[in-house]
């Protein structure tokens, strides 16, 4: 696909410290990135770093992709809705829900065009005999793509091609919700097209999704295990705060409150160590999430800084 405008990727000059790691009173590491918080109408409440530099949202684009597929009139409900937009851990429970989406379309896993993968969940990975397409963390999105194609009478083999009618609808929905045409389209790790846009555009798109009355956020809050996995960061945040959390590869995270305020952020180095504490910190200090619940969620998802058997430091918000 051709670029709409010249690309301007996020750079060190456009970044600020999101969070720091302290050990025995010394800052040992700093995670740089950019972050933005918008209110339910999309107005900026806080912005840090270059929030209009171009980044790939990666899997945080899934709510928009799922929205486009659901406009085919798919009757997905509950956990199926969550799996349509999930980056799941590949447990048998996750895979079983994906099978129901495929079954409803009269298909099986052989129709999936996401790559085979080992489950992300440790126990599921140990039990697996080989990588599979169902276990790949984007299989729910791909199953939903296929189900939409069946309902519309579109071809299945090329559903990931940029010129396919499904992908054309996704481009339209992304522009509609985010308020602008993406700067560029590339290819995501699962093989689907992925837009490049600024974090501000991404956050405004999530706020617009909540305003639209989409069933996706409520389903995610009702079934938080399905979006990620038991004990995983996104699931822990949703369970403890009621805020939808959705990660994307290479250090991208979005958060969405029930009222429609949205955070979008990216760590420059692609690490997720700082993303949860940074995103929740922005919401908490603006009174958009309970501060104690946010602190509990951040603590539950942070790596301990230890010296021997003792805790000698921790991760701290730097924004």
Residues 116, 113, 250: CA angle, nearest 5 degrees? 65
- Indicate if 183 and 212 belong to the same structural domain: no
CA distance 286 to 125: 40
- Indicate if 193 and 60 belong to the same structural domain: yes
Does residue 282 lie in a domain region? yes
What's the total number of domains in the chain? 2
- Indicate if 275 and 287 belong to the same structural domain: yes
Does residue 102 lie in a domain region? yes
Quick check: pTM over 0.75?
yes
* Residue-level pLDDT at 4: 52
* pLDDT mean across residues, the chain: 97
- Indicate if 317 and 209 belong to the same structural domain: yes
Q: How large is the C-alpha radius of gyration of the chain? A: 19
What percentage of the chain exceeds 90 in pLDDT? 97
Domain that holds residue 68: 56-197
- Indicate if 96 and 174 belong to the same structural domain: yes
Which residue in 95, 137, 142 sits closest to 117, CA to CA? Answer: 137
Does residue 47 lie in a domain region? yes
- Indicate if 203 and 304 belong to the same structural domain: yes
- Indicate if 221 and 305 belong to the same structural domain: yes
- The helices-and-strands tally (H runs, E runs) of the chain is 12, 10
CA distance 50 to 185: 20
- Indicate if 133 and 224 belong to the same structural domain: no
Does residue 208 lie in a domain region? yes
- Domain closes at, from 163, 197, 231: 197
* Residue-level pLDDT at 3: 47
- Give every CB contact of residue 181 below 8 A, 6+ residues apart in sequence: 4, 175
- Indicate if 188 and 203 belong to the same structural domain: no
Structure tokens at 260: 């429609």
* Residue-level pLDDT at 19: 97
Does residue 1 lie in a domain region? no
- Domain closes at, from 143, 172, 197: 197
CA distance 304 to 207: 33
Ranges of residues in the chain whose predicted pLDDT is under 70: 1-4
- Indicate if 191 and 217 belong to the same structural domain: no
Does residue 84 lie in a domain region? yes
- Domain closes at, from 197, 215, 235: 197
Does residue 100 lie in a domain region? yes
Burial of 257 by CB count in 10 Å (0-12 exposed, 13-18 middle, 19+ buried)? buried
Instruction: Read off φ and ψ for residue 171, nearest 5 degrees.
Output: -60, -40
- Give every CB contact of residue 149 below 8 A, 6+ residues apart in sequence: 155, 156, 159, 166
- Indicate if 96 and 212 belong to the same structural domain: no
pLDDT in tens, 201-218: 999 999 999 999 999 999
- Indicate if 79 and 155 belong to the same structural domain: yes
Does residue 2 lie in a domain region? no
């Amino acid at each position: 696909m051709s670029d709409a405008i010249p690309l301007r990727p996020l750079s060190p000059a456009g970044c600020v410290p999101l969070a720091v790691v302290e050990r025995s009173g010394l800052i040992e590491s700093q995670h740089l990135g950019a972050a933005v918080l918008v209110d339910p109408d999309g107005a900026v409440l806080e912005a840090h770093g270059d929030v209009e530099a171009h980044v790939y949202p990666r899997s945080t684009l899934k709510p928009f992709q799922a929205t486009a597929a659901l406009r085919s009139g798919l009757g997905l409900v509950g956990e199926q809705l969550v799996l349509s937009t999930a980056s799941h851990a590949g447990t048998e429970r996750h895979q079983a829900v994906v099978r129901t989406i495929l079954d409803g379309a009269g298909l099986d896993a052989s129709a999936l065009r996401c790559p085979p993968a080992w489950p992300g969940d440790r126990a599921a990975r140990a039990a697996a005999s080989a990588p599979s397409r169902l276990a790949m963390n984007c299989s729910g999105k791909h199953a939903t793509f296929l189900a939409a194609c069946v309902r519309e009478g579109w071809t299945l083999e090329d559903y990931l091609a940029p010129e396919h009618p499904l992908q054309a609808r996704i481009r339209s929905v992304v522009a509609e919700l985010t308020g602008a045409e993406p700067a560029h389209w590339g290819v995501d790790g699962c093989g689907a097209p992925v837009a490049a846009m600024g974090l501000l555009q991404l956050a405004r798109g999530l706020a617009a999704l909540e305003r639209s009355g989409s069933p996706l956020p409520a389903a995610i809050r009702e079934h938080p295990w399905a979006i990620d996995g038991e004990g995983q960061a996104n699931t822990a945040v949703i369970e403890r705060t009621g805020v939808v959390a959705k990660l994307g590869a290479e250090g991208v995270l979005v958060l969405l409150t029930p009222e429609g305020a949205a955070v979008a952020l990216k760590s420059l180095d692609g690490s997720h160590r700082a993303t949860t504490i940074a995103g929740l910190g922005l919401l908490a200090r603006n009174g958009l999430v309970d501060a104690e619940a946010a602190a509990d969620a951040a603590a539950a998802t942070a790596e301990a800084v230890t010296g021997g058997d003792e805790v000698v430091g921790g991760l701290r918000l730097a924004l």
